[in-house]
Amino acid sequence: MTISEDICVRMDINENIELLLNQNKLLTAVQKEELNEKLVAYINHLLVHDFNRLVQVLYKVDVSEQKLKELLQKNPAIDAAVIITDLLIERQEYKIKMKESFKPNDDIPDDEKW
């Protein structure tokens, strides 16, 4: 098992992607690319060795099955792990943005708070 596989196995994949995305703001372009490559390697590992786990990950992260099928059909020359990784990251970025948009406004004066 490679280091990237070991990291993903020890951490919940959903948390792992979210952690990587949260750190994304502090990373250099090279570091971002390395993290993306590690995730692609892990997804490839799941495709070959543990497809059921991959399906569970996609379900848990809530990746659109229809969108994945369409992208795989339209892009047969692109590695499936790259497409899946992009969808996982896209979905997690969306979730993070939604969480941030619903955070409470802490700028309310104390006398106006409930």
pLDDT 10s digits, 26-83? 667 777 788 788 889 989 999 999 999 999 989 988 999 999 999 999 999 999 999 9
- At 20, is the pLDDT very low, low, confident or very high (cuts 50, 70, 90)? low
Going from N- to C-terminal start, the domains of the chain cover 3-101
Residue-wise pLDDT for 95-107, tens only, equals 878 887 887 766 6
Nearest to 21 by CA among 13, 42, 47: 13
User: pTM above 0.75?
Assistant: no
* Longest CA pairwise span in the chain (Å): 61
